[in-house]
Structure 1
Amino acid sequence: MVRDASGGDVVAANGKAEKKPNFFQRMILFFRQVIDELRKVVTPTRSELFKFTAVVLGFVVVMMAIVFGLDSLFTWVTTWVFGIPG
Protein backbone atom coordinates (compact mmCIF):
# COMPACT_ATOMS: atom_id res chain seq x y z
CA MET A 1 0.00 0.00 0.00
CA VAL A 2 1.28 3.47 -0.89
CA ARG A 3 -0.06 6.87 0.12
CA ASP A 4 -0.71 9.19 -2.78
CA ALA A 5 1.13 12.49 -2.24
CA SER A 6 -1.56 14.61 -3.90
CA GLY A 7 -4.63 13.78 -1.86
CA GLY A 8 -3.60 11.22 0.72
CA ASP A 9 -5.65 8.44 -0.94
CA VAL A 10 -4.64 4.87 -0.30
CA VAL A 11 -3.36 3.37 -3.54
CA ALA A 12 -2.12 -0.18 -4.06
CA ALA A 13 1.25 -0.80 -5.67
CA ASN A 14 -0.50 -1.89 -8.87
CA GLY A 15 -2.31 1.48 -9.14
CA LYS A 16 -5.80 0.35 -8.12
CA ALA A 17 -7.49 2.25 -5.29
CA GLU A 18 -8.21 0.27 -2.12
CA LYS A 19 -11.02 0.91 0.32
CA LYS A 20 -10.02 3.04 3.29
CA PRO A 21 -10.68 1.39 6.70
CA ASN A 22 -13.63 2.81 8.62
CA PHE A 23 -13.31 4.95 11.74
CA PHE A 24 -13.53 2.08 14.24
CA GLN A 25 -10.96 -0.02 12.39
CA ARG A 26 -8.57 2.92 12.36
CA MET A 27 -9.11 3.48 16.11
CA ILE A 28 -8.43 -0.20 16.85
CA LEU A 29 -5.28 -0.04 14.72
CA PHE A 30 -4.20 3.12 16.53
CA PHE A 31 -4.62 1.56 19.98
CA ARG A 32 -2.80 -1.60 18.90
CA GLN A 33 0.11 0.52 17.68
CA VAL A 34 0.11 2.49 20.96
CA ILE A 35 0.27 -0.74 22.98
CA ASP A 36 3.07 -2.06 20.76
CA GLU A 37 5.07 1.14 21.30
CA LEU A 38 4.46 1.07 25.06
CA ARG A 39 5.90 -2.46 25.19
CA LYS A 40 9.17 -1.03 23.83
CA VAL A 41 9.52 1.45 26.71
CA VAL A 42 12.34 0.65 29.12
CA THR A 43 11.80 1.61 32.76
CA PRO A 44 14.90 3.22 34.29
CA THR A 45 16.58 1.63 37.30
CA ARG A 46 16.55 3.35 40.68
CA SER A 47 20.11 4.66 40.25
CA GLU A 48 19.33 5.98 36.75
CA LEU A 49 16.20 7.67 38.07
CA PHE A 50 18.16 9.45 40.82
CA LYS A 51 20.87 10.43 38.32
CA PHE A 52 18.36 11.88 35.84
CA THR A 53 16.53 13.71 38.64
CA ALA A 54 19.80 15.24 39.86
CA VAL A 55 20.67 16.39 36.33
CA VAL A 56 17.27 18.03 35.87
CA LEU A 57 17.40 19.76 39.26
CA GLY A 58 20.95 20.95 38.58
CA PHE A 59 19.89 22.38 35.22
CA VAL A 60 16.94 24.16 36.85
CA VAL A 61 19.22 25.69 39.51
CA VAL A 62 21.67 26.90 36.84
CA MET A 63 18.86 28.43 34.77
CA MET A 64 17.43 30.13 37.88
CA ALA A 65 20.85 31.63 38.60
CA ILE A 66 21.15 32.92 35.03
CA VAL A 67 17.67 34.48 35.11
CA PHE A 68 18.34 36.02 38.55
CA GLY A 69 21.64 37.45 37.33
CA LEU A 70 20.09 38.94 34.18
CA ASP A 71 17.19 40.36 36.21
CA SER A 72 19.61 41.99 38.65
CA LEU A 73 21.71 43.36 35.78
CA PHE A 74 18.69 44.83 33.97
CA THR A 75 17.39 46.32 37.23
CA TRP A 76 20.76 47.98 37.87
CA VAL A 77 20.98 49.28 34.27
CA THR A 78 17.46 50.75 34.28
CA THR A 79 18.08 52.34 37.69
CA TRP A 80 21.36 53.82 36.42
CA VAL A 81 19.80 55.10 33.16
CA PHE A 82 16.50 56.45 34.50
CA GLY A 83 17.39 57.08 38.14
CA ILE A 84 15.21 56.43 41.11
CA PRO A 85 12.06 58.61 41.06
CA GLY A 86 11.33 60.38 44.24
Structure 2
Amino acid sequence: MARKIVDEPSEDVVENAKKDRAAKRNPFARIALFIRQVFTELKKVVTPTRRELLNYTLVVLVFVVIMMAIVFGLDQLFGWLAVIVFGNPPA
Protein backbone atom coordinates (compact mmCIF):
# COMPACT_ATOMS: atom_id res chain seq x y z
CA MET A 1 0.00 0.00 0.00
CA ALA A 2 1.55 3.32 -1.05
CA ARG A 3 1.83 6.19 1.41
CA LYS A 4 0.02 9.35 0.34
CA ILE A 5 1.64 11.79 2.75
CA VAL A 6 5.42 11.97 2.52
CA ASP A 7 5.96 13.98 5.72
CA GLU A 8 4.26 11.37 7.89
CA PRO A 9 6.81 9.07 9.61
CA SER A 10 6.46 5.34 9.12
CA GLU A 11 5.50 3.05 12.01
CA ASP A 12 9.02 1.62 12.14
CA VAL A 13 10.56 5.06 12.67
CA VAL A 14 8.09 5.82 15.44
CA GLU A 15 8.73 2.48 17.17
CA ASN A 16 12.51 2.96 16.99
CA ALA A 17 12.21 6.46 18.44
CA LYS A 18 10.10 5.15 21.32
CA LYS A 19 12.64 2.40 22.03
CA ASP A 20 15.51 4.90 22.00
CA ARG A 21 13.66 7.21 24.40
CA ALA A 22 12.84 4.31 26.74
CA ALA A 23 16.45 3.12 26.71
CA LYS A 24 17.72 6.57 27.74
CA ARG A 25 15.48 6.80 30.83
CA ASN A 26 16.93 5.78 34.16
CA PRO A 27 15.26 2.93 36.06
CA PHE A 28 13.41 5.24 38.47
CA ALA A 29 11.92 7.24 35.61
CA ARG A 30 10.75 4.04 33.95
CA ILE A 31 9.14 2.85 37.19
CA ALA A 32 7.41 6.21 37.64
CA LEU A 33 6.18 6.08 34.04
CA PHE A 34 4.86 2.57 34.58
CA ILE A 35 2.97 3.61 37.71
CA ARG A 36 1.47 6.64 35.91
CA GLN A 37 0.36 4.37 33.07
CA VAL A 38 -1.18 1.91 35.54
CA PHE A 39 -3.24 4.68 37.17
CA THR A 40 -4.29 5.97 33.76
CA GLU A 41 -5.51 2.51 32.75
CA LEU A 42 -7.29 2.01 36.08
CA LYS A 43 -9.27 5.21 35.46
CA LYS A 44 -10.64 3.59 32.30
CA VAL A 45 -12.04 0.58 34.16
CA VAL A 46 -15.82 0.49 34.38
CA THR A 47 -17.23 -1.53 37.26
CA PRO A 48 -20.35 -3.55 36.41
CA THR A 49 -23.66 -2.83 38.07
CA ARG A 50 -25.10 -5.32 40.54
CA ARG A 51 -27.50 -6.64 37.89
CA GLU A 52 -24.68 -7.11 35.34
CA LEU A 53 -22.50 -8.83 37.93
CA LEU A 54 -25.28 -11.26 38.85
CA ASN A 55 -25.95 -11.91 35.16
CA TYR A 56 -22.26 -12.61 34.43
CA THR A 57 -22.04 -14.89 37.47
CA LEU A 58 -25.12 -16.84 36.38
CA VAL A 59 -23.74 -17.26 32.85
CA VAL A 60 -20.43 -18.58 34.19
CA LEU A 61 -22.13 -21.01 36.59
CA VAL A 62 -24.43 -22.36 33.86
CA PHE A 63 -21.46 -22.80 31.53
CA VAL A 64 -19.50 -24.68 34.22
CA VAL A 65 -22.45 -26.97 34.97
CA ILE A 66 -22.88 -27.75 31.27
CA MET A 67 -19.16 -28.51 30.89
CA MET A 68 -19.26 -30.75 33.98
CA ALA A 69 -22.19 -32.67 32.48
CA ILE A 70 -20.33 -33.13 29.18
CA VAL A 71 -17.17 -34.36 30.93
CA PHE A 72 -19.21 -36.68 33.17
CA GLY A 73 -21.05 -38.09 30.16
CA LEU A 74 -17.82 -38.68 28.23
CA ASP A 75 -16.24 -40.31 31.29
CA GLN A 76 -19.20 -42.69 31.63
CA LEU A 77 -19.12 -43.48 27.91
CA PHE A 78 -15.40 -44.23 27.83
CA GLY A 79 -15.67 -46.27 31.04
CA TRP A 80 -18.49 -48.33 29.49
CA LEU A 81 -16.47 -48.80 26.28
CA ALA A 82 -13.40 -49.88 28.29
CA VAL A 83 -15.47 -52.51 30.11
CA ILE A 84 -16.81 -53.80 26.77
CA VAL A 85 -13.35 -53.93 25.16
CA PHE A 86 -11.33 -55.27 28.09
CA GLY A 87 -14.02 -57.14 30.05
CA ASN A 88 -15.06 -56.76 33.66
CA PRO A 89 -12.24 -56.05 36.13
CA PRO A 90 -11.59 -58.73 38.77
CA ALA A 91 -13.48 -58.14 42.02
TM-score by length of 2: 0.76
Higher share in helix: 2
Residue 64 of structure 1 is matched in structure 2 by 68
Q: Indicate whether 1:2 and 2:2 are aligned.
A: no
Structure of greater relative contact order (alpha carbons < 8 Å, 6+ residues apart)? 1
Aligned pair partner of 1:26 in 26, 30, 43: 30
Q: How far apart are the structure 2 equivalents of 1:19 and 1:74?
A: 57
Deviation, structure 1 residue 84: 1.1
Deviation, structure 1 residue 24: 0.7
Higher share in strand: 1
Deviation, structure 1 residue 20: 1.0
Cα gap change, 1:83 to 1:45, in 2 (>3 Å): same
Residue 53 of structure 1 is matched in structure 2 by 57
Whether the 8 Å contact between 1:2 and 1:10 is mirrored in structure 2 is no
Residue ranges of structure 1 left out of the alignment (5+ in a row): 12-17
RMSD: 2.2
Residue ranges of structure 2 left out of the alignment (5+ in a row): 1-12
Q: How many residues align?
A: 77
Identity level (%): 57
Deviation, structure 1 residue 19: 6.3
